[in-house]
Amino acid sequence: MKTHWQILVVDDEEVMCESLAAWLREDGYVVDTASSGRDAVAKARLRDYAIYFVDLKMPGGMDGIETMMQVRRLHPEASIIIITAYATVDTAITAMKEGAQEYIVKPCNPEEISLLVNRIVKVKNLQRENAILRKKLTRQYVVHDVVSKNPRMQEIMALCGEIASLRSTVLIQGESGTGKELVARAIHNAGDRASKPFVAVSCAALAETLLESELFGHEKGSFTGANQQKRGKFEMADTGTIFLDEIGDISPKLQVDLLRVLQDRAFYRVGGSEEVRVDVRVVAATHVNLQQAVAEGKFRDDLYYRLNVIEIRIPPLRARREDIPLLADHFVERLSHELGKEVGEVSEGALRLLLDHNWPGNVRELENAVERAMVTCRGPVLTENDFAFLAQTAAPAPAWGIPAGMTMQDMERVLIIATLERTQGNIKEAASVLGIDRSTLYEKIKKYDIPR
Amino acid sequence: MKHLYVAATEEVEREALAAVTARVAAEFGGPVRSMELGSVDFAFDPGRRQYGSIPVLDMLLQRFPADAGKLLAVTERDLFIPVLTFVFGQAQLGGRVGVVSFARLRQEFYGLAANREIFMERACKEALHETGHMFGLVHCAERRCAMSLATTVRQIDLKEDAFCAACRARLQRHSGGTQV
């Protein structure tokens, strides 16, 4: 563990400097020396030393205290030990006030230095361990920030952890409001790119030309209003992740450009002739059925296959109703802090109302509903009355009707899709509900090309 | 072929020198050659009434025999480096020269009755320790290993007169014994 921690010995007397450095090297540390305060600060700029032994009296306008102050500005966490042959109470107080970890008088007992360095290293090892554990814990929370006890969602979160450090492109499909961006962020935050940029772009929000410039940047003068060169989102996301939301809405031209980026990891800025290379992980999302869009010729199949390396389908909230109480509590807890209201829980009656609602807008709609209820509620508990607006906005339950021209096969397809949705894709359960065996259900899924 | 040398200053008792030479030879695959160094008075610091180990190492480098691979000196003088009150010994890490002081290894130094057996054991352990540094070994976390750091004689006494398995393996990876 010692080689992790580098030490800098600072003393204008070479013999003093080298002898202490040699003694510390015998103990297994990597030790550098500096012959003045300025030399020490220059070395501190280049390397992150864990411990500094700094002589108090040094010529050249920068004494040990000044050196320590400058080093601490560069590395506040560094441990600095002031050494002096001329100890006075005043200098000791000044050194400690300015942030010296220890103040030792030379010559000092070898045991004293040995114990001191061991103590500092022990603390630094614990701090490092603590930082690693914190990071791991944060990652765990980030993945689990997608609140769910639904088995399918838990599978998705486990998958996010597994694929987090890969560079493979991910395609997230799901209805609006299901948390596609949250899943994309979970993938980014759980992987090696966590400390690098995460850049989200909504492809549906901008017109084709604007989106092109937004994604790839532009050169000065490439179009009216392009007064200066601008970096695109792909460049901003270099070494990190770009999240392309509503990818199903991009134009055919942009589909071609995007395909090139995915193939070559390179592109040209709008109006530019210089190739820009990037190391970006692409996570795309859409609420439309891309497979169907491909079949209908609206989306390039080669781009679809490039995007769909890892596919994640997020189930709608109505297919994971067990998450509704959990999510409601989660939003109540979070919003009570944000809104400064002391609301602690959701009543049973209100929960029944929430469970009965169809949630076409999914988790986002639930979040908005909880926020609206919290804004207007008067007590510490959210009641049915606080959610009364849901009954007004809820679409009437569709009457069971058979559209004209519907065939037996159409009917069977609809029935299988609805059952699979209710059983959250569980084939065994769906087969049991439908009264057929599993192999028959598999055949029908294949026959009707039902996505799973 | 380069040899390991054990050199002694003029005041070192010959019996202790022989014991240290034999131990080093056994450990590093002798034969070990001997050398006389005379006095180290040039390294005396009147202010501290001790002998600087750095001038001693410099002298060893100057007198380094042509057929030597490593040169370990032993002295009765009390050694120091400027920043520390004393050192039991000093060596160039992965280098050619090292020195061991017997002064603080004797019970008499601490006002206790002389004990020859304890002194000899300490001398051999410290000779192995400094020679180990010359072969590139750093301090070992295993307290019983001869390469563990000792800043008191009690810590030397807790060591064994041998290297631990890990340090021995590191030595084996080195070019082997005294052939450096």
What's the confidence (pLDDT) of residue A143?
55
Give the per-residue pLDDT at A11: 93
- Overall average pLDDT of the B77-87 stretch: 94
Residues of chain B positioned with their CB less than 8 A from the CB of A28: 138-139
A28–chain B Cβ distance below 8 A for any pair: yes
- Of B44, B40, B55, nearest to B8 (Cα)? B40
B85 vs A contacts (CB less than 8 Å): 107-110
Domains of chain B listed by start with CATH number: 3-173 (3.40.390.10)
Residues A88-111 as b/e (b if ≥16 CB within 10 A, e otherwise) read eeebbebbeeebbbbbbebbeebe
Mapped onto helix, strand or coil, the DSSP state of residue B72 is strand
* pLDDT in the model for residue A8: 96
- From the list B91, B92, B138, the residue facing A27 with the nearest CB is B138
Chain B residue closest in CA terms to A113: B84
Name the helix (H) or strand (E) containing B44.
strand B44-45
DSSP secondary structure code for residue B22 in this structure: H
Give the number of A-B residue pairs with CB atoms closer than 8 Å: 63
- Using CB atoms, pick whichever of A27, A106, A111 lies closest to residue B83: A106
A20 → chain B, closest CA residue: B83
Looking at every residue in chain B, the average pLDDT score rounds to 92
pLDDT for residue B149 is more than 80? yes
**Tens digit of pLDDT per residue, chain A (452 long)?**
555 689 999 999 988 899 899 999 988 899 999 999 999 999 998 888 999 999 998 988 889 999 999 998 888 889 999 998 877 788 888 888 888 888 888 888 998 888 899 999 999 888 888 877 765 655 544 455 678 878 888 888 889 888 988 989 999 999 989 989 889 988 998 888 888 899 999 888 777 778 888 899 988 877 777 778 888 999 999 999 999 999 998 888 889 989 998 898 889 888 888 888 999 999 999 998 888 889 988 899 999 999 999 999 999 998 888 888 888 888 888 888 788 887 878 888 898 889 888 898 899 999 999 999 998 888 888 988 889 888 766 555 454 566 667 788 888 888 888 888 877 788 888 887 788 888 889 888 888 888 76
Name A297's Cβ contacts closer than 8 Å, sequence gap at least 6: none
Min Cα distance B88 → chain A (Å) is 10
Give the pLDDT score at B146.
96
Does the distance separating the beta carbons of B151 and A114 come in below 8 Å? yes
Task: Report residue A225 as tokens.
Answer: 């209003």
Q: Catalytic residue positions of B? A: 130
CB-closest option in A106, A108, A114 to B149:
A114
Query: What's residue A4's pLDDT?
Result: 67
Tell me if the pTM is above 0.80: no
What three-state secondary structure class fits B70? Answer: strand
User: Domains, chain A, ranges and CATH?
Assistant: 2-128 (3.40.50.2300), 145-313 (3.40.50.300), 318-393 (1.10.8.60), 408-447 (1.10.10.60)
Query: Is the pLDDT reported for residue B87 higher than 90?
Result: yes
Q: What is the pLDDT of residue A141?
A: 43
Structure token digits, residue A418:
């609805």
| Cβ-defined contact of B84 to A22 (cutoff 8 Å) | no
The whole-number pLDDT of residue B180 equals 42
Question: Between chains, do A110 and B138 touch, taking CB under 8 Å as contact?
Answer: no
| Confidence band for B155, pLDDT divided at 50, 70 and 90 | very high
Least confident segment among A221-225, A326-330, B95-99, B127-131: A221-225
Rounded to the nearest angstrom, the minimum Cα separation between A19 and chain B is 6
Contacts of A107 in chain B (CB under 8 A): 48, 80, 82-85
> Which pLDDT band holds residue B104 (cuts at 50, 70, 90)?
very high
Q: Does A3 contact B at CB distance below 8 Å?
A: no
Give the model's pLDDT for residue B179: 45
Is B83–A20 a contact, with Cβ atoms under 8 angstroms apart? yes
Q: Which of B83, B139, B152 sits opposite A83 (nearest CB)?
A: B83
Whether B137 shows a pLDDT value over 60: the answer reads yes
Asked if the Cβ–Cβ distance from B92 to A22 is below 8 Å, we say yes
B36-50 mean pLDDT: 94
